[in-house]
Structure 1
Amino acid sequence: MKTLTLLRHAKSTWDDPVARDFDRPLNPRGRRAARTVGAEMRSLGLGFDRVLASPARRVMETLGEVEGAFGRLGADYDERLYLASPTTLLDLVHATPDEVARLLLVGHNPGLEELALLLAGDGALRSEVAVKYPTATLAEIAFDIPWSEIAPGTGRLARFIRPRDLDPELGPDEDTH
């Protein structure tokens, strides 16, 4: 059994005058949402054998807040994850060594949402993803095949955790940042 978990970065700010999108920080609501999701991950007993993350500031800050509530994740930062397409993300999944049972990818939309929709078979949770994949949301997809064989529709969406489901004050997410 392989488990692919996709975590979208938390809500960032457009108020900070940074020169590049890559350097945008989280806003206070994003920090709170990331801590809330991290606490939920801990309470569910989630664990990961490998963590790959975009090196964008908002992703690094998201992981810092998640780790504050969850514990150390030990992410490897990979520039290919910055604003990655679902094709690039799937290439990273396919390249995962088979001894890794639980992979966490931390990055951006629309790539994460599109990958979740591509890989997950039918089901109620899939329809939730199709409606919206908000910031700081986690999707967990289970597979009964090796990483190299993962293809469209071969997974089962086991979890879809949005910050607003854990704390109503964290939703709805009105913008896409």
Structure 2
Amino acid sequence: MRHAKAEQGGRTDFERELTDRGRADAAEAGAWLAGRGFAPQHALVSAAARTRATWEALAAGGGWELEPDYDRGLYVAEPATAVDLIGLVDDDVRTLVVIGHNPTMAYLAQLLGDGEGDPELESQLLAGFPTSATAVFEYDGAWSDLAEGSARLVGYHVGRG
């Protein structure tokens, strides 16, 4: 997931907060995920203020009580680094949510897909990855083996509250 709509300015980019719309959009995305039966067992979230706030609103919208793993490295991660961070997740975790920043999250979503997902979803994903965009993948393997083209896109949604 890409973080929700954030303020244009802040003391630093890392400290930018969500707008009211961003909080509403993230909560709506959480409700959408929960409505599809998605309940994360682990949350890997960039440590930036806007991604932390996105997680809080997403979790509230989904009705999840889960302590996230805030990772400062995800803030500046390239797609390959994001895959490496995901690879460190315990294999007992079957459902994972990752919240980060563009362009990394858009590239990551495009790289992970095996191209065998629903063509309409694939088309929507390729058309853009705006704030609050959420791509849902199925993956059957060890997180450490996650690689390009190894997951199937089964959902795509842009939260708009």
**TM-score normalised over the length of structure 1:** 0.82
Q: Tell me, in whole angstroms, the C-alpha distance in 2 between the residues paired with 1:105 and 1:151.
A: 15
Equivalences, count: 157
Counterpart of 2:5 in structure 1: which amino acid? K
- What is the Cα deviation at residue 75 of structure 1? 0.6
2:5/2:131 contact within 8 Å kept: yes
The answer on 1:106 being equivalent to 2:99 is yes
2:41/2:66 contact within 8 Å kept: no
Mark the CA change 1:86 to 1:36 in structure 2 (over 3 Å): closer, same or farther. Answer: same
State the percentage of identical aligned residues.
36
The answer on 1:38 being equivalent to 2:33 is no
User: What does 1:62-141 align with in structure 2 at a 5 Å threshold?
Assistant: 62-71=54-63, 72-122=65-115, 123=117, 124=119, 125-141=121-137
Deviation digits for residues 138-175 of structure 1 (CA, Å, limit 9, x no counterpart): 111112222222221111001111125xx6xxxxxxxx
1:83/1:109 contact within 8 Å kept: no
Structure 1: runs of 5+ lacking an equivalent = 1-6, 168-177
- What is the Cα deviation at residue 20 of structure 1? 0.6
Matching residue of 1:59? 51
Structure 2: runs of 5+ lacking an equivalent = none
Q: Tell me, in whole angstroms, the C-alpha distance in 1 between the residues paired with 2:42 and 2:6.
A: 25
Deviation digits for residues 79-102 of structure 1 (CA, Å, limit 9, x no counterpart): 011132101111012222221111
Cα RMSD (Å) of the superposition?
1.5
